[in-house]
Amino acid sequence: MKILNKDWFKPRKYLHFDLPINRKKASKIVSNSETVAKHAFYPLINYDILINKIKKNPITKNIMVSEPKKRPISYPAHIDSHIYSYYSKKLNHQYEKAIKENGLNNSILAFRTLGKNNIDFSLDAFNEIKKLGECSAVALDITKFFDTLDHDILKSEWCKLLGLSQLPKDHYNIFKSITRYSTVNKEYLYKALGISLNNPNKTRRRICEPHDFRSIVRKYKLIKVHKESFGIPQGTPLSAILSNIYMFDFDLKMNSFITQLGGKYFRYCDDILFITPTEHKLKVKKKASFEIESLKLELNKNKTEIRTFKFKGKQLKSDKPLQYLGFIFDGNNIYIRSSSLARYSSRMHKGVRLAKNTMIKYNKIRRANQEEERLIFKRKLYSRYSYLGKRNFITYGYLAAKK
């Protein structure tokens, strides 16, 4: 199997513990299994982004903002990232072959090159409901998916995919790096090294020299080692394919089970959807819950939905609207979730306020310098928040409406 450079190599210019390398040098490293087997991986640099949860009060119709949810982001060093990317493609080749041979090609949706997005995936699922007619949808969500993947199960599934009883040395070294990984908090690291968070690339091409890594990063114990027997970091080029490999046996069992019942199975990462004849809905939920527990994972009970669709006259209607991949379906109509609209509205207002305050700030300076005042800059606002932009929530909405 030949993997083309264009399939895995991506120039990376962010600051890390090592220097960026070119395609030729990266190719020489990743294609040599002995080099990979002996490679020492740097700690991941991590930080948290805050995701605001916004929803509309069904009674007052007011927008409610709940406590922000932390989402950890980790990114590997340059050479490490190239190795992960290259092996991701190698594993993906085997994985794609396996799911096609086992009839899972139309059921596994996330992290694959299918030429589709969640608009298409949602539409396919809703069309399956219309096709089946009176039926039920069982929607499940796994709690802290990447954080709870069991290492022994992951290793076993990895071996199965390769058709081997144990991992080759190069794969095993990568497995160790992704399960017993170490991290360095970005804010603490930059502070210890005197690097500006706002303008870090000003005078350097790497975070620090090897001697600084030893004398500062290690000395001040900035490195945190993941010692649990479960969990892999999100954000590496390898994380996505490993999550799919982990779920392969589950996908196989549940697809076979639901097909025998005359239903349909879809999984988008940790979002699982079964479309089944109504008399089997509780049986499907029980079976799925058992198989999830056997993988040492846990279902998020707050996000479990069982929706039943029945004909009222000639129209198919659900007892409660089904939420799936950012859309709501009531058996007849499809809507974008109100929380998505509320989030967009909130971001737009913040963006406009920031642009106004920036204009006021700089116009104050211009007046002091006896310069002409300027109007608010609208180009970025239009690009981010209006139909004039190429990739934003509004254009997404138009595309969804069109499909």
249's tokens: 């046996």
- How many residues can be counted in the chain? 403
What 8-state DSSP symbol labels residue 39?
P
| This model's pTM is above 0.85 | yes
Report the pLDDT averaged over residues 156-162.
Answer: 97
The structure tokens 């929380």 sit at: 339
Report the pLDDT averaged over residues 173-201.
Answer: 90
Of 169, 164, 161, 213, whose CA–CA distance to 192 is shortest? Answer: 213
Residue 309: how many other CB atoms lie within 10 Å: 23
In sequence order, what E strands does 254-352 have?
264-268, 271-276, 305-312, 315-318, 322-324, 327-329, 334-336
Residue 229: how many other CB atoms lie within 10 Å: 11
Q: Determine phi and psi for 146, rounding to 5 degrees.
A: -65, -35
pLDDT of the residue at 361: 92
Average pLDDT over the chain reads 92
pLDDT of the residue at 2: 66
Half-sphere exposure of 177 (CA within 13 A, CB side): 28
> Which amino acid does the sequence have at 30?
V
> Which amino acid does the sequence have at 245?
I
**Following DSSP, what letter does each residue of 221-266 receive, concatenated?**
T-EEE--SSB---SSSTTHHHHHHHHTHHHHHHHHHHHHHTT-EEE
pLDDT of 59 over the 80 cut: no
| pLDDT tier at 155, thresholds 50, 70, 90 | very high
Least confident of 2-11, 71-80, 108-117, 295-304: 2-11
